[in-house]
Structures are given as C-alpha cells and as structure tokens.
Amino acid sequence: NGDESLASFIRRRMGEEALKKMAEPMLAGIYASNPETMSIGSTFPMFVETERKYRSLIIGMLARKKAMLLNAKKRPTSNFSLFMTLKDGLGEMVEMVIKKSPDIQFLSGTRVESISQKEGGWSVNIEGGGEHQAQALILATPGSITARFLQSVSPKAAEILKQIKYVSTATVTLAYKEEGFSHSLDGFGFVVPRSEGHSILACTWTSSKFPHRTPEGYVMLRCFLGGALKEDIAEKDEATLISLVRQDLKEIMGVHEEPVFSKAFHNRKANVQYEVNHSQRIDTVLQELESGLFLAGSAYRGIGIPDCIQSGTQSAESAIQFLAGEPKVEN
C-alpha cells in the first residue's frame, strides 16, 4: 500500500537485469534520478496501478494496448505526433503568455527576497528595496527558494520543502554536415545503461525528432550528462563536456567527423528529485500552508511542462476561489 523506490519495484517485478538495462536508463533517466531512492508512486503511478489492477505488468500492458487499439479505431485520426515542441523554442510560450495578458504587470528580472504577512494579506519584498501587497500569493519558484520564503510564515512546510533535492545536468548540442555523415540517424536517439561505462546518459537525434530545428543539409545531436548518479560530470567546463561527448559518439555511433557547431549548456540544480514518499510530504506541506498562499511548479506533483501548466492552472483557480471567499480546495 505504501510507496517504494523504482529500483525496488522493477527488481520485484522484472529482476536486476531489467532494472540496469531498461528501467535505470529509460525511466530513472527521464528524471535524472537514482532509481534506488526515487519514488515509483510520484513518477510512474501507472505501473503501481497496473500491478494493483492486473496482478502482472505484462498482462496489464497487453490489456491496455488492446484498449488503446479499440479506442484508436473509434477516434478520428489526429495530427499529433509522438513528440511535440514549439516551433521557435520554448521561449515562445513565455512571450505568448505576456502578449495575451495585457492587463497583467510582469516584473521580469526582479528577485523576490522574502514574503511576510501584513494587514491581513501578504507583502512581497523585492531584493534591493520595494514592496508589493497582495491578498493571495502563488509561489512558483523552485522548492528550495520557496522553502526560504516560507521559513518565517509556515516553518513546518519550509522544513519539508528544504529536503527536496535538486541535481545538475548538462546538455551538449553538436551539428554536422549531412553529406558524408557516418550514421543514418534512422530513429530518434538512444539511452545508455550505466554499466556501459560512458559519460553520456542519452542522445537525442534532434534533426530526426524535430527536423525544423536544423537547417537543410545539416544534422544535429543533443546529448545529456550528469544527473543524480553522475552529477560531477555536469559541473565540467564546456570544452571537457564536448570532448567527453565526442568520444562517446565515436565509440557508440562511429561518428568521427568534426562538428560544424558545438555548444554545452549547464542546468545547475535544475532537476527536482521525487524521493520515496514525496507525495505524502507534499500533502503535509499543503496542509501546513498559511491561508492565502498557493504553490505551483515542478517541485510538487509532476516535472513535465504539461504537469507544470496544470499545477499553475489549479493554483490560479484555488487563489480565485479564495479571493471570492469560497472554501479552500487543495492545490
């Protein structure tokens, strides 16, 4: 009935080899997490549900596949592809939100230092001076920053949020001339089990997955490094990261060519870790919150961008209900 780690679940259901060769690179890899500590309930609840409902993962997957095929026949064909992104990059989403909200004042580049209770509402204190008053506040900052804001107003919630870990990752993007490139790129990329002894965790063949991202006549690859099990690699400088990636691509894909473009990005402490019993801890945080405070973002109920959008929408609805004087609903 309780939560358990991804490693414990996979070992119990499918054995050690399935954990090391499939679950660790494919499932823990999405979260840049250690499968021994990450919560199965907060990351892949559908597996827990499948086990509960069908007794066996394989029987459950076959049943789900059958149901999907039946549903697909009933539904009109859709234009959605397996992978989706925004045409001109994710910044487009922020630009569009600003464009569609002419009545909202955005203070980008402004750092909040603290929040405090004032005259029955909230005061937001800006670094370097300045103060904003509000009846309701939605805190959409990373968990560690939110913990700092809550320290004086909801200390128990702050203590729990402080324990949520973040790990660092890095990505390296390489572009090559398509003509004479030594690999056919007939897929979307690959993940690498730790036992193979390479630096990279995964490689996306960007020009196959999102062709519009690469100019005609070129191919592009994007590799991921770091995460909970290899965090030290994510801290290396750009030249070292590019060299590690090129060595791995030579050994794994046989790519010997010189890239025409290479760039490394550091995502320092950007990947939140959902450890065993994460969901119960978040329940406690929400119960401990002072009235008029709401939380949103990847630290709570899902790390994907759609999860974050849902989290923001729910918090906004809860804040509106609060302002209208309706009873509190969980966000």
Ligand X SMILES: Cc1cc2nc3c(=O)[nH]c(=O)nc-3n(C[C@H](O)[C@H](O)[C@H](O)COP(=O)(O)OP(=O)(O)OC[C@H]3O[C@@H](n4cnc5c(N)ncnc54)[C@H](O)[C@@H]3O)c2cc1C
Shortest separation between residue 10's beta carbon and ligand X, angstroms: 22
Candidates 11-19, 48-56, 266-274, 282-290; binding stretch for ligand X (CB under 6 A): 266-274
Tokens, residue 145: 């920053």
- 298 forms part of the interface with ligand X (CB under 6 A): yes
Are the CB atoms for 134 and 149 separated by under 8 Å? no
- Rounded Cα distance, 127 and 142, in Å: 17
Q: Which is closer to ligand X, CB of 189 or CB of 292? A: 189
Out of 308, 314, 322, 331, name the contact with ligand X by CB under 6 A.
308
Q: Is 314 in the site for ligand X (CB under 6 A)?
A: no
Binding residues for ligand X, rule CB under 6 A, total: 17
Among 52, 53, 111, 250, binds ligand X (CB under 6 A): 111
Residue closer to ligand X, measured from CB, 35 or 143: 143
Q: Which of 123, 119, 125, 117 is nearest to 152 (CA)?
A: 117
Q: Examine residue 305 and tell whether it contacts ligand X (CB under 6 A).
A: yes
Q: Is 145 a residue that touches ligand X (CB under 6 A)?
A: yes
Measured distance CA(191)–CA(254) in Å, rounded = 16
Q: At what angle do helices 45-54 and 57-74 cross, to 10 degrees?
A: 100
- State in angstroms the smallest separation of the CB of 288 from ligand X: 20
Cβ atoms of 242 and 262 closer than 8 Å: yes
Q: Does 267 bind ligand X (CB under 6 A)?
A: yes
Q: What does the DSSP assignment read for 233-266?
A: HHTS-HHHHHHHHHHHHHHHH---SPPSEEEEEE
Say whether 142 sits in a helix, a strand or coil.
coil
**Rule CB under 6 A: which residues touch ligand X?**
111-112, 140-142, 145, 169, 171, 267, 270-271, 297-298, 303-305, 308
